[in-house]
Structure 1
């Protein structure tokens, strides 16, 4: 190609749109900003010349950015020269400059003699003497100007800190003088590294770690099958470092990547990752490396490690040396030792010898003798032989970890304890207990299964142990839904329990049996549970005893049990397992309000690395149920979606169907009947063949509600009576407390007045009105529905709607108002009817209960009222605050988020939205966006 053609082609590639650059290899994940930066840099290079230094931590992707720039430049017709700094024991004169100039030897013939002479040494043809640096610099610039006469020129240098001094001086001289030359200088430098190269006057782009989203995308693209907790651990350790994200999983075994084997305290490194830090560590003296090793093995940043590392003899400060090497520093504010990157810690541990590690752990065990858990772990790391003392210490540490929300830490400690067990039976028992925590709390099903198999291999007699049966039952129940198999195992486990003497396994077995019986949903399953509770007598823990009444059979819950439950709620602590147990006791007796704060904390802990994921799933399901019942349907849907995501990630199929029940209920209440049908079809198809009666009842409960909303009272009756026949409240069937209104209303509307009366009588005989204000409101309202005398019915409706706290259950409250309003209209009490119907309509609109709002509107029309209380759509403008809140709600924000954004209370936000809906003529949040877009300016 001729010189003119070459320049023309290059010019076309550098057009205003930059299309040539954008057609080159796509930007690496998360580096879109760098791609744009390089495009601008290359345009400037081709126009007037430019210089840029790309800086960042090791592994940030500096070389990748330089490679991308070189590829884009070459494709655009820019001549590219590449060089790289190389670590060397001796300073090789002109080492990197020689790499750059050798390809340009042919251009030297056109230079003046003085310039050719000055370039002999950089080209490797000198007599060994060092020429004047200014002469060499001038000659290099002259040579490059000759080369760029044909096309723009780009010099790309990787690892500037490793340049030899002469090359660094000359290239620095050049980089500061590229303006106006059509020469580009692009280099990379490790952040904070010492260097001969002076970049103080050059623009520097800091290559930041990848964002959390980009890091996740990169990790998923390379390793899509990582276990959820393994993925979370790698993301935390890599901290957005691309090299770490692609290399850390490679250093793990296949079982570790899948999540079925434990991860070590410090993740292993590939040779490539290790090389990033090894050279720096090798240059440090022993005292500094000892400090780094002690700090790495401690892992908490405890500054007491400093004193242990410094020792009694005076000498250079090891902390100062570590700080100069950019590996470790002391945070003065918190007085904690902080590594510059988590991988520094892993590298230090990886490079230490076995004896160095044991000695350091021994010193740390002594240093932290006042902390039982830390002392146990370091003693174990320093130990070699089985030692029951260490095993017992680790087992106690595991129990404390579980209480503190560190479920994965509890599994690790119990597994480690098994390794120090002297007796094979104890070794197997501890492995089985680790499996229980893995499947029952931390969400590690695969690993729990592996631990259980290991336990059984330790001692064949362990098949009959309580721990092995609990672990096996959890594995059967949570995924396959084999409730019958789980029940058989647990009945065998609790049948052997004669006392509770401080060992938590029998208590765990009883809770597991209770949950299995609940999901089995057949009263006969409960007999072994109640027999065991009776047999153990006063030794049964208070929470378990209360659960045995309020969760197992809420219809028969005694006043004493409810009082004890209130005390347990008031005394809730941070133990995630205990929180779930108390919340289960509260679930069906309408007392979850007092548990909400504790449940939210369990959810937060469950999202942390190693947190109690299964406890978080239970918490999300219970919060979702409570949110639905109390009219917070957006929040209910969010809880269900998050629970379902965790269930699908961790393969907890059974609990996922509870989340689907919440989704089906929200859809039913909002009028999305097709979705309710689809979700409940899936629930029934899974539950019926497996005899998982609780999931069946959940499905029928959602369907009964959807049918009531659709006005199909016959179908609502059929679905409600799938749970229990009219007039019957079978024991151990808590769902009957939630379909009472649907059942009685559907009986009335299908002319089954005798059945309706029988059901009301059964509720009164069981005394369920005493369980909670909600049930008092429902029972009284249902009694009003079956009462023939108009005056008596009026009094009962009024009593039901005035029950204390009834507003908390706003949907059921509004449904009773609608039923009451309909009855008033039919009896000719038009004015009173309008008052009830209008208030019900406002509640339905606020909730987004479209089908019920439509029914209320039709009833109001039948009274002769052509519009609701207030003003018709568009006749009264939204206030500024209402418009602001409506816009945020239309954008998908929850009331809680809106309240935080605008510094309001959630109740204030809800009140504003309650006024917005009728002004815009909508009945749900989903319709807000279109209503706001179509509203005339005067209406907004």
Structure 2
């Protein structure tokens, strides 16, 4: 079938791009991605062909690729096909990106490249190509692309808005891919309308009887390919009552198989080899076909297949007319013939170890340790190229053909660990279940237990589970595997953070971490001490962190130190560690760990007063958590965004974000995340003046047995609880909570706890004591806690006004109003204005700084540009194309009222503060 004429309507699209021509014309203004879905033969390929024709007529640059079922296990095969015309420009990419991309294609030696660095390199390579001429990328049969290529395409599709690139991807129904959960817009192709279907049928098969014509129209259901091919099968008598209930795809395969039966044996043998091959090279097909048929074959052997319209031959490239032709030929052959075809191709591809291994694996119906070993090497090479999904598949197949059960179990365990790294818990659980019956030896068993533990991360079985983890850690230590032992200790420590099992268990976890530690300042030890003993070891942790502060350490170490500082409430120390860690993790492209570091950084910014920075970091953390399949981190980020919305007085948005966080978390029992979301809801209600609701949400953190109960998080919300309690008439409950935390404060110097307690004491005090307690709280060093200071000033001013000390009240209320305005905390600023009006003093409305007119993405980019980074450096940090960065700056300048990059710092003012 040729490409259609005229134009194509894209139903459901915006009016200006409701046709394919309009869609392509839009590319000069902005990038677009579109996923085209439909049944086999419905016209997806024709739509892409039409798009290519129209793009070339508009002088667009065009790059195409097509998935091939036999290439799904070849890492980045589809991506290499797509980028081959542009690879000469790879030398202009930043060093790490260039190395990652060429390493993915096996064109350069490299370590284990981060997949997101490969994806970022692709985005920049495409952006550079499109800078000269707008670019159309047309990718057909996405369901058969190798998984690493599909993931890269998803990454690119989400970041095309500012580049003159159209990405069209065609995907067959019923084939799950990593694009299913993406937010790429979709166009679903349905069958032809009855009149069009009749016209197409009559144009190709005008001699059909009335009965056959009706049957074809009925069974084709508007499918264009079926309308062309089914008449041939019906004429040949191959569609009978027995096949009346076959799916349409199977019917079409049989229709193509009709012509296959009429071909000479050597042609059928050659076509079978071509169908089993993972490439389109004619020479490979002829060489394999010669082995299978025992005859010297030339291109002449293809003539009958060419005449039958099953294949096409162009410049020594052999392609099937339609993927269903390939499928029909492969599945029509007997099992023995298919094994022989793969065996022949293993010989043909003897110089390509990956292809050879896959074909050897497909050529056997028994176990063979030599094949398993080759597949294990395939997995090693795939990991080195950043193709973890391919490594998982290779290890699973290696396990299936392993002769020794223990060797197969080891391969399955490794595959399960890799699947877990990818965030594919269901796949990891399946592989682990397959491995466990054959696991032999203490260490392999411990590896299986560890993986089972992390897969069940949300389960919280209390002290019994912690005891089991400690026992396994001790066993791993005794067996000499320190890293595995540390894994168990980390899991035990985080469960101590979720739910207090008692000091006996927590001290056992800390003691074991001490035995495994490389020294007193080992970050693994400090994190364990902080998460399992934040109160008992808080002073020690803070002291050691203060000593380490100025040292230059790698990203993993500084991230752990930042986590330790945040867990003991020393948020004033967090920034020094995490800022360097985040910078290194960005450069390395390690988005999974970057997401975790950003999640910790947000709280430092919230508590220490960088509200604008907190919003940017929380939004980035949520986006990256979604992309890296970390639902717990995504739920946390949504909770953070909910709290920030509440502080700005955006009640409806804040509640929606909190609800979304709960939805993402699901039924997983992680009290720290539930506490965070309830903290957000409490602050939202407090800022909205719903004091009973605020107290109810915050009190859940203090209620033993509640899913939100969290002894450490209580320390961070005690000031909000006290404020809500006073307004809601619940002071006695709040005083009990303060009394319990006073005992905790006597054992730890956690800065945030002491800041909050001083505020709570003053808020809950009797009139006789309140004045002195407010002065004590305001007299403390609050230089790192500007939001806490502003709230104290507001509370003090309100207390003074209610005691009719009007003149005195105006001073702290003005200071609070001004501080909230600077911080951008609109809800609190409005509360200060209301109090000032009640004290007889009017306030001008807050004038929003120009920076608040920027979108979060524009503000993020502008802040980095103000710090002196180039567009390319900003793009690398934020995983965008440099053209996207340029577009955002172009839009930001008029909003800020500036014309030059050098004016950014002054225009941004306090929002550029780190």
- Give the structure-2-normalised TM-score: 0.53
Shift of 1:864: 2.0
Select 2:586's aligned residue among 604, 616, 619: 604
Q: Paired residues, what number?
A: 613
Query: What CA distance in whole angstroms lies between the structure 1 residues aligned with 2:559 and 2:511?
Result: 23
Shift of 1:70: 10
Residue 522 of structure 1 corresponds to 499
Select 1:465's aligned residue among 437, 442, 445: 445
Select 2:686's aligned residue among 695, 708, 717: 708
Change (3 A) 1:739 1:25: closer
CA deviation string 1:775-818 (max 9, x = no partner):
3332223333344466x6445434433543x3443322211110
Residue 413 of structure 2 corresponds to 432
Query: What CA distance in whole angstroms lies between the structure 1 residues aligned with 2:634 and 2:452?
Result: 20
* Alignment of 1:595 onto 2:546: no
Aligned 1:171-570 pairs, distance under 5 A: 209=129, 223=142, 230-233=149-152, 354-357=349-352, 425=406, 428-429=409-410, 431-433=412-414, 435-439=416-420, 441-445=421-425, 448-449=428-429, 451-453=431-433, 455-456=435-436, 459=439, 465-477=445-457, 490=469, 493-494=472-473, 496-497=475-476, 499=478, 501-518=480-497, 521-524=498-501, 528=505, 530-535=507-512, 537-540=514-517, 542-567=522-547, 570=550
Select 2:826's aligned residue among 842, 847, 850: 850
Query: What CA distance in whole angstroms lies between the structure 1 residues aligned with 2:765 and 2:835?
Result: 21
Query: What CA distance in whole angstroms lies between the structure 2 residues aligned with 1:760 and 1:473?
Result: 36
Shift of 1:695: 2.9
Residue 293 of structure 1 corresponds to none
Shift of 1:30: 5.7
* Alignment of 1:810 onto 2:804: no
Residue 743 of structure 2 corresponds to 765
Shift of 1:486: 7.9
1:244–1:273 CA contact under 8 A, matched in 2: no
Residue 564 of structure 2 corresponds to 585
Residue 695 of structure 2 corresponds to 717
Structure 1: which 5+ residue stretches go unaligned? 1-12, 14-21, 37-58, 74-205, 260-268, 283-349, 362-382, 916-940
Query: What CA distance in whole angstroms lies between the structure 2 residues aligned with 1:816 and 1:771?
Result: 20
Change (3 A) 1:216 1:32: closer
2:27–2:165 CA contact under 8 A, matched in 1: no
Shift of 1:410: 9.9
* Alignment of 1:739 onto 2:717: yes
2:562–2:574 CA contact under 8 A, matched in 1: yes
* Alignment of 1:896 onto 2:876: no
2:482–2:516 CA contact under 8 A, matched in 1: no
Change (3 A) 1:665 1:386: same
Change (3 A) 1:427 1:601: farther
Query: What CA distance in whole angstroms lies between the structure 1 residues aligned with 2:419 and 2:805?
Result: 62
Shift of 1:662: 0.8
SS in 2 for 1:867: coil
Shift of 1:851: 2.6
1:436–1:471 CA contact under 8 A, matched in 2: yes
1:811–1:844 CA contact under 8 A, matched in 2: yes
Query: What CA distance in whole angstroms lies between the structure 2 residues aligned with 1:682 and 1:706?
Result: 15
Query: What CA distance in whole angstroms lies between the structure 2 residues aligned with 1:392 and 1:528?
Result: 43
Change (3 A) 1:226 1:273: closer
Select 2:810's aligned residue among 817, 820, 834: 834
Residue 778 of structure 1 corresponds to 756
User: Greater shift after overlay, 350-359 or 594-603?
Assistant: 350-359
2:866–2:912 CA contact under 8 A, matched in 1: no
Change (3 A) 1:475 1:731: closer
1:530–1:548 CA contact under 8 A, matched in 2: no
Residue 26 of structure 1 corresponds to 20
Change (3 A) 1:892 1:397: closer
Shift of 1:655: 2.8
Shift of 1:865: 1.6
Change (3 A) 1:225 1:272: closer
Shift of 1:841: 0.8
- Give the structure-1-normalised TM-score: 0.52
Aligned 1:838-917 pairs, distance under 5 A: 838-867=814-843, 885=851, 888=854, 893-894=859-860, 896-897=863-864, 899=866, 911=909
Change (3 A) 1:410 1:387: closer
Change (3 A) 1:473 1:232: same
1:469–1:489 CA contact under 8 A, matched in 2: no
Change (3 A) 1:569 1:449: farther
Query: What CA distance in whole angstroms lies between the structure 1 residues aligned with 2:646 and 2:670?
Result: 22
Select 2:599's aligned residue among 602, 621, 624: 621
Change (3 A) 1:563 1:828: same
1:668–1:706 CA contact under 8 A, matched in 2: yes
Residue 875 of structure 2 corresponds to none
Query: What CA distance in whole angstroms lies between the structure 1 residues aligned with 2:376 and 2:131?
Result: 41
Query: What CA distance in whole angstroms lies between the structure 2 residues aligned with 1:224 and 1:494?
Result: 42
SS in 1 for 2:721: helix
Shift of 1:547: 2.0
Query: What CA distance in whole angstroms lies between the structure 1 residues aligned with 2:180 and 2:127?
Result: 31
Query: What CA distance in whole angstroms lies between the structure 1 residues aligned with 2:679 and 2:609?
Result: 17
Change (3 A) 1:623 1:71: closer
Relative contact order, higher structure (CA 8 A, sep 6+): 2
Change (3 A) 1:890 1:668: closer
Query: What CA distance in whole angstroms lies between the structure 2 residues aligned with 1:672 and 1:867?
Result: 21
* Alignment of 1:800 onto 2:782: no
CA deviation string 1:739-765 (max 9, x = no partner):
110122233334454444444443333
1:714–1:750 CA contact under 8 A, matched in 2: yes
CA deviation string 1:529-565 (max 9, x = no partner):
5434435653345333322232234344332222223
2:715–2:741 CA contact under 8 A, matched in 1: no
Shift of 1:658: 1.2
CA deviation string 1:857-907 (max 9, x = no partner):
121122222236xxx779xxx9xxx76x56557995346257356657998
CA deviation string 1:54-88 (max 9, x = no partner):
xxxxx9x9997884499999xxxxxxxxxxxxxxx
RMSD of aligned residue pairs (Cα, Å): 6.1
When Rg is computed on C-alpha atoms for both structures, the one with the higher figure is 1
Structure 2: which 5+ residue stretches go unaligned? 1-6, 8-15, 31-44, 60-125, 182-273, 287-344, 357-368, 868-888, 890-899
SS in 1 for 2:456: helix
CA deviation string 1:574-617 (max 9, x = no partner):
454x45433332223223212322442366268x4xx452x233
Query: What CA distance in whole angstroms lies between the structure 2 residues aligned with 1:839 and 1:624?
Result: 26
SS in 2 for 1:721: helix
Query: What CA distance in whole angstroms lies between the structure 2 residues aligned with 1:860 and 1:849?
Result: 17
